[in-house]
Structure 1
């Protein structure tokens, strides 16, 4: 590490002798990074690395759950998708007002990193999408090479629609694939008998799945589960007569009672 300029100029004067970076990822999606510094005059050992790797998934799941639950409880008005034109390095050439508003929900450094990654991936693969979690929002980015502009990348940024956020929330709550299947069917009105027939199992097994997903979500039954996943997005504005918007959210959501 002593050959790294950052170490010579910043870390060594601060008394740092070693650095360990831990990627916090769940289901292949990265939710954060932890950087550990050691001021003792010895490096991190393989045992230190193993401990960090062992606890990283639990920390990542906790961060993911906290961020997604905060987003689901956020009553602010959702803005429409924004359009961006990037150069090959991810620098913004042209942006819409909606894009600027959405990007303003993320820290500037995170925006720069995301756009650079997006431009690079679009240039290499042709089309790419990524969902990013910030302190105030979850944003979805979609990009592909722009026609008529050599090396440029056209991108769209938007808030994930409830139908997209729902699977993320259920994963954050720790639902297994089968439990997510049960939850979706349950919230579409399926009975235990119908669930058992659909899953080709017994009603007793379905009951076990229901108990597990209620426990993980911290709810007492179907109604509370629906309120957690669906009601906070749809029922309050629907009951207030707020018209639905074209992007998967209601117009004037901030006026709807919670």
Structure 2
């Protein structure tokens, strides 16, 4: 590095590159791909995974993996939800840790981690760096970087740079998270029947209806995986269901096996995924079975996530909920015990944040087009 090129200048340059990526990426998956390529010019790593998540449940809504991580990604998800281990993402978010390395968490003894012994080491990886992507108190994704066991562990300088970049990455991942861009041949109708997928306890497909197959095709397309692979969101809700229901399974979260995946495409509704263990649903070997439902999201499921995306204040969230119910300005003022002028001020702020110019546009954007 040039002696005149200070760490502060490096940070500024890296942040500007991330901002440009966020302004030009056509979708969440494209942003993740470009982000990893760009980060590699700033920090050395041998493999990476970037995952977007539902900020309310921290379940994956889609992942981009590269350089061999795809082969072990399902195992990483399994260990995230079903095993006790160091520096799990829900723990990092809950404890407010902005970055953590496997070498640091194990005090230089990675063998103390079951994930390292059973997944990372057999795949040839050594140190692992985990960064929850937080913006304004909400988590929008996880960035995980890996180094081969023959390489040095992540340095303090590496961690400081990535920790400083994380809020900018989180902001643009949040913006890109409304970017499910389906192939023109895959258009989902709002009034179609729910999709139902039945899986074994090892997440092997047993049966499905045509609607579930359509949703699976859309999610696979988004992640760039083949038809033999389960999309990360499906695995995530299933592992969460197993973690909360199977005897002896480890869980640190009481959040449900449910997530909401947003879409920016007018032909594709937001989808809600739910998973549950089937009562008495056991195969010939005594293995449990799971059912996964795919349904267009309801307004009550979408509004909390949209509130996070558009950074509505608590008062603005209340106003949007009441607007969706059809209340007039006078009725809003009465219901919230504020003046009509204050309601108008809040509406201006909501319109600005949501990029609309009228109530009709707002209702269409957050409700009508999806129901």
TM-fit CA distance, 1:231: 4.4
- Structure 1 contact 71–137 (Cα < 8 Å) conserved: no
- Structure 1 contact 85–93 (Cα < 8 Å) conserved: yes
1:161 equivalent among 285, 297, 300: 297
1:215 equivalent among 339, 345, 352: 352
- Structure 1 contact 86–155 (Cα < 8 Å) conserved: yes
Map 1:161-180 → 2, pairs under 5 A:
161-163=297-299, 164-180=301-317
1:77 aligned residue = 188
1:205 equivalent among 326, 336, 342: 342
1:87 aligned residue = 200
1:149 equivalent among 272, 281, 284: 281
Cα 1:9–1:71 shift into 2, 3 Å: closer
Structure-2 separation of matches of 1:55 and 1:8:
31
1:68 equivalent among 166, 174, 178: 178
TM-fit CA distance, 1:214: 1.2
SS of equivalent to 1:68: coil
2:133 aligned residue = 24
- Structure 1 contact 24–34 (Cα < 8 Å) conserved: yes
TM-fit CA distance, 1:84: 2.8
SS of equivalent to 2:323: helix
SS of equivalent to 2:279: coil
Gaps of 5+ in 1: 13-17, 234-248, 250-258
SS of equivalent to 1:196: helix
- Structure 1 contact 192–206 (Cα < 8 Å) conserved: yes
> Cα deviations across residues 18-45 of structure 1 (Å, max 9, x unaligned)?
5422233679986432124579856332
2:143 corresponds to 1:34 = yes
TM-fit CA distance, 1:102: 1.7
1:119 aligned residue = 242
SS of equivalent to 1:140: strand
Cα 1:127–1:218 shift into 2, 3 Å: closer
2:238 corresponds to 1:106 = no
Cα 1:8–1:152 shift into 2, 3 Å: closer
2:9 aligned residue = none
Structure-1 separation of matches of 2:195 and 2:353:
35
Cα 1:152–1:85 shift into 2, 3 Å: farther
2:369 equivalent among 226, 232, 246: 232
- Size of the aligned set, in residue pairs, is 227
Structure-2 separation of matches of 1:29 and 1:91:
33
- Structure 1 contact 38–44 (Cα < 8 Å) conserved: no
Structure-2 separation of matches of 1:26 and 1:87:
37
- TM normalised by structure 2 equals 0.49
SS of equivalent to 2:202: coil
TM-fit CA distance, 1:216: 0.5
> Cα deviations across residues 186-232 of structure 1 (Å, max 9, x unaligned)?
34332333222211223333233112111111122223212322343
1:245 aligned residue = none
Cα 1:42–1:141 shift into 2, 3 Å: closer
Gaps of 5+ in 2: 1-102, 104-109, 221-228
- Structure 1 contact 88–120 (Cα < 8 Å) conserved: no
